Amino acid sequence: QVQLVESGGGLVQAGDSLRLSCAASGRTFSTDVMGWFRQAPGKEREFVAAIRWSGIGTYYADSVKGRFTFSRDNAKSTVYLQMSSLKPEDTAVYYCAARRPGGSTNSVADFYSWGPGTQVTVSS
């Protein structure tokens, strides 16, 4: 099992930027894909972005495409979500997750390890 801890959330104004970090530890060798998901109160957890540890492919939900950028630092076992042009609709708890090889890139059910989440609040 890989342990994940998110950081970098906070309260910002619409149009501002934030960078979320997710530090991984433990059995990181078993992880193929890292993902970011978010969940607002009363709503289902939704896919935000995903990236491969050893590949180049990066995937984004339509709602964040062009505004969010997913990157990684393999030496630090850390992934980042750079968020710009933030909107009130982006307000949610953001979760970092890990997936083993195989499965869907954007499916919550296919990710086996999750961080505790970090709150992002965007005011208007």
Tens digit of each residue's pLDDT (9 = 90 or more) over 34-71: 999 999 999 999 999 999 887 778 999 999 999 999 99
Angle at 98 between CA 92 and CA 103, to 5 degrees: 105
Identify whether the C-beta of residue 9 lies closer than 8 Å to the C-beta of residue 118. yes
Instruction: Report the percent of the chain where pLDDT is more than 90.
Output: 81
Q: How many CB atoms lie within 10 A of CB 83?
A: 25
Task: Please report the pLDDT score of residue 103 as a whole number.
Answer: 77
Greatest CA separation for the chain = 41
Q: Is 54 exposed, middle or buried (0-12, 13-18, 19+ CB in 10 A)?
A: exposed
pLDDT tens column, 10-39: 999 999 999 999 999 987 767 889 999 999
How far the first Cα of the chain sits from its last, in Å, is: 39
Task: State the DSSP string of 41-72.
Answer: TTS--EEEEEEESSS--EEE-TTTTTTEEEEE
pLDDT at 107: 92
Query: Residue 65: CB partners within 8 Å, gap ≥ 6?
Result: none
pLDDT of residue 102 exceeding 90: no
